[in-house]
Structures are given as C-alpha cells and as structure tokens.
Amino acid sequence: MWLYPEDDEDERILKKIFTPEAYQLVRRLKMKGISYELANIMADFINARLQVNPKPITTDELIEIYQKSLREYKRKKSRKFYEEHKLI
C-alpha cells in the first residue's frame, strides 16, 4: 500500500509520486497512524490524480486529497452506522 511501502523499491516509487515536501507530509501521516480504510480511499484519489496528471503531487494537492478522502470516509462510516441500526 502507498502509505506503508514494503521495500526500498516501493519507497523510491513514493519519492517519484510526491514532491519532497509532500513526501514529508506522507511520512507524517504514516506516523500519525491513519486508518487502513482512509489510506485506501486516499490511494484511489491519488491514482485518479496521477492518471489525469502524471507530475509529482504537491503538498497542496495532497492536503486537498486528504480532505476529500476524510469527507468520503466519514460519509461511508455514517452510512454504515445508519444501515446497521436500520435507520435507512
């Protein structure tokens, strides 16, 4: 997974995907310990962004992706809660 690279090759790929400043932010996210589900949502947004524009992702773009991902994560969590409690 993009947030938890398994080897040096994965780490090199991450450094190509993000600008140096954005890469440092990725390291801080990893240290913060965001959920696996949120990291997967972010990965979807990152992949979509790279398909449209293959240039490295900047810090501002990464922050925007994080915010979008967080909204999507919260939406999915609340939907799951309502479905589990038969409120929908």
The span from the CA of 71 to the CA of 61, in Å, is: 15
Instruction: Tell me the domain boundaries of the chain.
Output: 8-84
Residue 41 near residue 73, CB atoms below 8 Å? yes
Q: What CA–CA distance (Å, rounded) separates 32 from 76?
A: 21
Just give the CATH number of 8-84.
1.10.8
Instruction: Per-residue pLDDT tens, the chain, 88 aa: give them.
Output: 566 777 888 888 889 999 999 999 988 988 888 888 999 999 999 999 999 999 999 999 999 999 999 999 999 988 887 777 776 5
Q: Extract the tokens encoding 28.
A: 């801080």
pLDDT of amino acid 60: 98
Indicate the pTM of the whole model.
0.81
The whole-number pLDDT of residue 78 equals 87
Tally Cβ neighbours within 10 Å of residue 46.
Answer: 20
